[in-house]
Amino acid sequence: KAGVTQTPRYLIKTRGQQVTLSCSPISGHRSVSWYQQTPGQGLQFLFEYFSETQRNKGNFPGRFSGRQFSNSRSEMNVSTLELGDSALYLCASRTGGDTDYGYTFGSGTRLTVV
């Protein structure tokens, strides 16, 4: 069974640009969440999606957005990049059932803003 796939693995962008990160969940998983990991702030929740609906959003500015498609694949977008957006962005998925908790994480996308 394939795991959670995140693309690209590494990305270098210039301040002011925008970026789109992609996440393909495990087959059959309908719930996808995104986290930002930085040395200073640790792991912080960005948003969660279930069946194409955003169910929860973390405390991030509106420059951070996301969406989920009908096949459960998800994308997150960051506009007007700032140096502080440099981080490892992790996507995680689970089936979404009430008795199945414990996300499976992807390997992440390492974003560097210069």
Partner 1 sequence: AQSVTQPDIHITVSEGASLELRCNYSYGATPYLFWYVQSPGQGLQLLLKYFSGDTLVQGIKGFEAEFKRSQSSFNLRKPSVHWSDAAEYFCAVGGYNTDKLIFGTGTRLQVFP
Whole-number Å distance between alpha carbons of 5 and 97: 21
Is position 108 an interface residue for partner 1 (rule: CB under 8 A)?
yes
DSSP per residue, 46-60: EEEEETTEEEEE-S-
Binding test (CB under 8 A) with partner 1, winner from 22, 79, 86, 104: 104
Chain-centre distance for alpha carbon 26 = 14
φ/ψ of residue 85, rounded to 5 = -85, -5
Question: Of the listed pieces 21-29, 66-74, 79-87, 103-111, which binds partner 1 according to CB under 8 A?
Answer: 103-111
Binding test (CB under 8 A) with partner 1, winner from 64, 103, 111, 113: 103
Q: Which is nearer to partner 1, 40 or 62 (CB)?
A: 40
Q: Is 21:76 a contact under the CB 8 Å cutoff?
A: yes
Question: Of the listed pieces 14-22, 60-68, 70-78, 102-110, which binds partner 1 according to CB under 8 A?
Answer: 102-110
Is position 62 an interface residue for partner 1 (rule: CB under 8 A)?
no
Residue type, 103: Y
